Chains A and B, each alone.
Chain A
């Protein structure tokens, strides 16, 4: 387990060639139960990086490890050259200020209106006046197609709208890295496709690096530049690369089976 220095958090945006996030020898476990072991991959700047795999294989758990909500059993997560896993809370918070997260159900704060949800990060981490915060919150909501819904509470809007509002909150501080946990889960195909387009647009306009946890094949092929495939049975990653190339060239039967929706059954024995 090597340690590449403990310097202050660097904005990955500044260094265009180095990977933004590096996951090194990561093992994730709940007590004695190992979810995934020996994960090694890098996420390059500007990529839409897909974390894929069957249900319950540990995709969301991997995301939680990458944003510090769970601690690895062994191994580490690096943001640029900064060792996130070994950092203390203050240093982590500095890194995370550059990160936006969309949780599975949106995770909007239910006691606040949409404008307050989006405005909270702005109020806490900028010196903007209240009216300015309101303007920016309206702008972010407009970007995700929720213009005019500023004063609605999360319980008053649909699931798809909650997800979009969650994205507006995630991009409130113009982060350079965005995490999306199952963005299209529970959405109809059209909303799901619109969300994919939104993700690509955000990547292009914000210049952000996007990490998407999903098992929706349509999304994976549509937006993925790079990916890692987690296998529940062997408890480790069994493929990395561009999803479309994996679809065409991968020889691993488990990967093929997943990417072809089970149409190509693995050879018996």
Chain B
């Protein structure tokens, strides 16, 4: 009496009940297979009158069975146990009886079942506040440790592998060239298109060069590079450090007396601090090139005129302002990536969460910083 293939040819599963005095006999017949559907154990509840003191199972007419019957019987046993009704499984087929006994062998662990109760609103507000406060203090201690580690780094005392720093620089520098090229060029093209449509109406098409130059150099170059790097490098940092946490590689550094902050975080953040300004300058140039292509192709501005207008439009303050912003964005992205990596839990899904969170945190703080810079530069008249 074991499950077989070809469910269509099998007789349907059947259950019938027979009452005699205080005994309810449950007859299971036909083919009880998962493919024929599952009979819920609750069906027995309707048959359990107050007079029933004992339930017996009968399987003489059973053809085939699998887990569906075991689930039905164990479910029925639980229902009976809740009503203090005795259960007799002696008439079950031997294999079936052993499986039922196995399922019932270890009683449910007290407190093992997760509670699904929803705490009241005030509790939830309180818990969320505590969580935020904890997150805040974790951030502050991370920043403190990072500042100390950077001070040691600048003093030449930090312990880290030069090779790791070089790899990090290559990774967030040279390897990011392709994507920065593509995006920056396209942003330049888009800015030029948008400007051209409006400015052409006033016969001021040449000012497209000013618009693209100022837009790219002051903000868009740094901003677009930051968003690319947050998605690329910030996520990578979080995933790398998160995985190292899961595999206890960070613990191994700690017990060796090597500071993970100096060994892992400083080279990564420093690489971004070095590379972001360079990528920003590169992005500015590519954006201006994109604008020049539109200027030449659509508006008939000669490259020479376009360049003269561009050079006249960009002040030194704007150029250095953009580079400064990019450096700050680099610090933000590096910190967001490493912090989320360090806060990662101990499972593979939490590595994914850490990477996602690093990108979101990075981009949000980059945009917030961009807003603050706009305000600050306005006040300083840059």
> Which residue numbers of A lie inside 8 Å of B, CB to CB?
64, 67-69, 93-94, 96-97, 99, 101, 103-105, 107-111, 120-121, 124-125, 169
Q: Is the CB of A124 within 8 A of B159?
A: yes
Q: Interface 1/0s, chain B 221-252, versus A by CB < 8 A?
A: 00000000000000000000001100111011
Question: Can you list, as one digit per residue, whether each of B256-267 has a CB less than 8 Å from chain A (1) or not (0)?
Answer: 111000000000
Question: A29 CA to B243 CA in the complex, in Å?
Answer: 25
Contact in complex: B257, A68 (CB < 8 Å): no
Q: B78 in the interface, Cβ–Cβ < 8 Å?
A: no
Q: Is the CB of A107 within 8 A of B257?
A: no
Instruction: Write out the residue numbers on chain B whose beta carbons fall within 8 Å of the beta carbon of A105.
Output: 247-248
Partner of A101, one of B159, B247, B255: B255
User: Chain B's nearest CB lies how many Å from the CB of A127?
Assistant: 14
Query: B248 contacts A107, CB within 8 Å?
Result: yes
Which residues of chain A are within 8 angstroms of B255 by Cβ–Cβ distance? Answer: 67-69, 96, 99, 101
In the complex, chain A residues whose CB is within 8 Å of the CB of B243: 110
Contact: B252 with A109, CB < 8 Å? yes
Residue B164 at the A interface, CB < 8 A? yes
Q: Is the CB of B252 within 8 A of A107?
A: yes
Enumerate chain B residues within 8 angstroms of A125, measured Cβ to Cβ: 257
Contacts of A169 in B (CB 8 A): 252
Q: Inside 8 A of A99's CB, which chain B residues have their CB? A: 255
Chain A CB within 8 A of B129 CB:
no
- Are B254 and A69 within 8 A (Cβ)? yes
The CB with the most chain A CB atoms within 10 A, among B161, B248, B258, is that of: B248
Closest chain A residue to B246 by CB distance? Answer: A105
Which of B159, B167, B247 makes the CB contact (< 8 A) with A107? B247
Q: How far is the CB of B131 from chain A (nearest CB, A)?
A: 12
Q: A97 near B251 (CB under 8 angstroms)?
A: no
Cβ A124 vs Cβ B247 within 8 A: no
B252–A93 touching, CB < 8 Å:
no
Residues on the B chain within 8 Å of A103, using CB: 248, 251-252
State the CA gap A125–B248 with chains docked (Å): 21
Which of B159, B164, B251, B258 has a CB less than 8 Å from the CB of A111?
B164
Name the residue on B nearest A179 (C-beta).
B255
Which residues of the partner chain A approach B244 to less than 8 Å between Cβ atoms? 109-110
Residue of A nearest to B160 (CB): A124
Name which of A67, A111, A125 has the most chain B CB atoms within 10 A of its CB. A111
Contacts of A109 in B (CB 8 A): 244, 249, 252-253
Give the chain B neighbours of A68 by CB distance below 8 A: 254-255
Complex contact A69–B251 (CB within 8 A): yes
Alpha-carbon distance between A19 and B161 when the two chains are bound, in angstroms: 37
* Interface CB pairs A-B, < 8 A, 8: A69-B255, A101-B251, A101-B252, A107-B249, A107-B251, A110-B247, A120-B256, A124-B258
Residues on the A chain within 8 Å of B164, using CB? 111
Residues B39-93 near A (CB distance < 8 A)? none
Taken together as a complex, chains A and B put the C-alpha atoms of A107 and B249 apart, in Å, by 5
CB-CB under 8 A from B251, the residues of chain A are 64, 69, 101, 103, 107
A111 neighbours in B (Cβ, 8 Å): 164, 167
Closest 5 CB pairs of A and B: A93-B257, A107-B248, A103-B248, A107-B252, A101-B255
* Most central of A68, A99, A120 by chain B CB within 10 Å: A120
Whether the Cβ atoms of B257 and A110 lie closer than 8 Å is no
B248 close to A97 (CB less than 8 A): no
Please name all residues of chain A whose beta carbon is closer than 8 Å to the beta carbon of B161 when the two chains form the complex: 120
Min C-beta distance of B251 to chain A, whole Å: 5
Residues of chain B within 8 A (CB-CB) of A67 are: 255
User: A110 touches which one: B167, B249, B253, B258 (CB < 8 A)?
Assistant: B249
With known contacts A103-B252, A109-B252, A96–B257 Cβ distance under 8 A:
yes
Residues in chain B near residue A101, CB distance under 8 A:
251-252, 255
Apart from A107-B248, A110-B243, 20 more pairs, CB < 8 Å: A69-B251, A93-B257, A96-B256, A96-B257, A97-B257, A101-B251, A103-B248, A104-B248, A107-B249, A107-B251, A107-B252, A108-B249, A108-B252, A109-B249, A109-B252, A110-B244, A110-B247, A120-B258, A121-B256, A125-B257
With a cutoff of 8 Å between Cβ atoms, the chain B residues found around residue A124 in the complex are 159, 256-258
Q: In whole Å, how far is A155's beta carbon from the nearest beta carbon of chain B?
A: 11
